[in-house]
Structure 1
């Protein structure tokens, strides 16, 4: 291989101590469920949000707090959050669908002995319901969710906690993300970051992922495992 190979390619050939996946937009097409639910609640107050308006709220823990202020909603966060949680949970249980390549990549990595984790801003009941629905309920060694952290993405807390609980150096980990906040979070933790594009992130400037894919179906796991193709 040429010495001019980009840094992310050299890192992949060295292998990774762990591969950590965001959930929504990477493993499952969850953002449409959230977008639909947000509009259901806004509609109860005669308001709505467009897809372009919604995009900056993706992948963060502060969505409703910001939305209440931005849309001048009539109730506090304590009113909207429980309703939103229940509605989204029902949608995850009924309608979660794995994104292209998610099942094959995760299964192949697991069978190869690669250590795997999920780091999702979603609350634990959502994550567990979603992974169970798409058939990956037992695929990951560790789940770190929004229920376990104080500071959501783009803060690196969730990825640093994942690495700590796995007992690995964050710099030796690969993170799969789709949204700018998630990419910033993993990068701030020192991880290699590969981005997956979705309908919800098309048109958004992604903050410097090491590699970018149209879907997990385009990922060659030999790049992750550090073995010859």
Structure 2
């Protein structure tokens, strides 16, 4: 089995749990109009784009919520911003970044979000310097679950798919890593832990449960 040479991180929900706040912001507004937005329904857009499932369109068109899109967007974004004020980097992420750098591993980021969104939060968290490459929605024709984001990051880092581990939180992200031929570990957040993942992926509730060295040994079959 090939030695691991790189880690490639997802961002939303993996490094910073922005996803739970989005779901709760939508869900709170839906409940105000006596609509239950289930996690199974909303989960279709987690880790991918709104082209797969658009919760704004769902609430306005399908559920007939009496708001126009501009108003709904403002309400959701206000709610999300308020909730995100309480969020910090997810447990174990910084330890992995520090240890990966010390071990000489290449480090990348592959996200279905836009670059400005990623840069804003990486600056707030103070971890941007760890990533040798950052690939986002603007770089590809298709975001996750399509593998292109991971394929570009792998090429940037100069490693083969079986020499890299993806750190993911969502079914769509895990599908993208698998389609790219990578090893991957799933670290679900408050929302994605309720979603169904393909097969039986390596999964932990927090990276604090498994050190990077333990993960490397497990993947490399040591």
The two structures have a TM-score, normalised by structure 1, of 0.77
CA pair 35-109 structure 1, distance change in 2 beyond 3 A = same
Matched, 1:32 2:20: yes
Matched, 1:54 2:31: no
What whole-Å deviation, never above 9, does each CA across 1:187-222 have from its counterpart, x for those lacking one? 001001111122212232211354111111112221
Matched, 1:167 2:155: no
Per the alignment, residue 187 of structure 2 pairs with: 196
Secondary structure, aligned partner of 2:8: strand
Which one of 104, 108, 122 corresponds to residue 113 of structure 2?
122
1:156–1:186 CA contact under 8 A, matched in 2 = yes
2:174–2:184 CA contact under 8 A, matched in 1 = yes
Where do 5+ consecutive residues of structure 2 fail to align? 62-66
CA pair 213-120 structure 1, distance change in 2 beyond 3 A = same
1:197–1:214 CA contact under 8 A, matched in 2 = yes
Where do 5+ consecutive residues of structure 1 fail to align? 1-10
Matched positions, count: 215
Per the alignment, residue 148 of structure 1 pairs with: 139
Secondary structure, aligned partner of 1:202: helix
CA pair 213-122 structure 1, distance change in 2 beyond 3 A = same
What whole-Å deviation, never above 9, does each CA across 1:73-108 have from its counterpart, x for those lacking one? 4767xx689869976995698554111111111111
Counterpart-to-counterpart distance in 2, 1:53 and 1:117 = 30
RMSD: 3.3
CA pair 144-82 structure 1, distance change in 2 beyond 3 A = farther
Counterpart-to-counterpart distance in 1, 2:104 and 2:15 = 19
Counterpart-to-counterpart distance in 2, 1:127 and 1:224 = 26
Q: CA deviation at 1:172?
A: 1.9
1:129-140 alignment, distance < 5 Å: 129-140=120-131
2:185–2:201 CA contact under 8 A, matched in 1 = yes
Counterpart-to-counterpart distance in 2, 1:127 and 1:211 = 26
Counterpart-to-counterpart distance in 1, 2:78 and 2:152 = 28
Per the alignment, residue 7 of structure 1 pairs with: none
Task: Report the more deviating stretch, 37-46 or 188-197.
Answer: 37-46
Counterpart-to-counterpart distance in 1, 2:72 and 2:47 = 15
1:75-90 alignment, distance < 5 Å: none
Which one of 177, 183, 187 corresponds to residue 178 of structure 2?
187
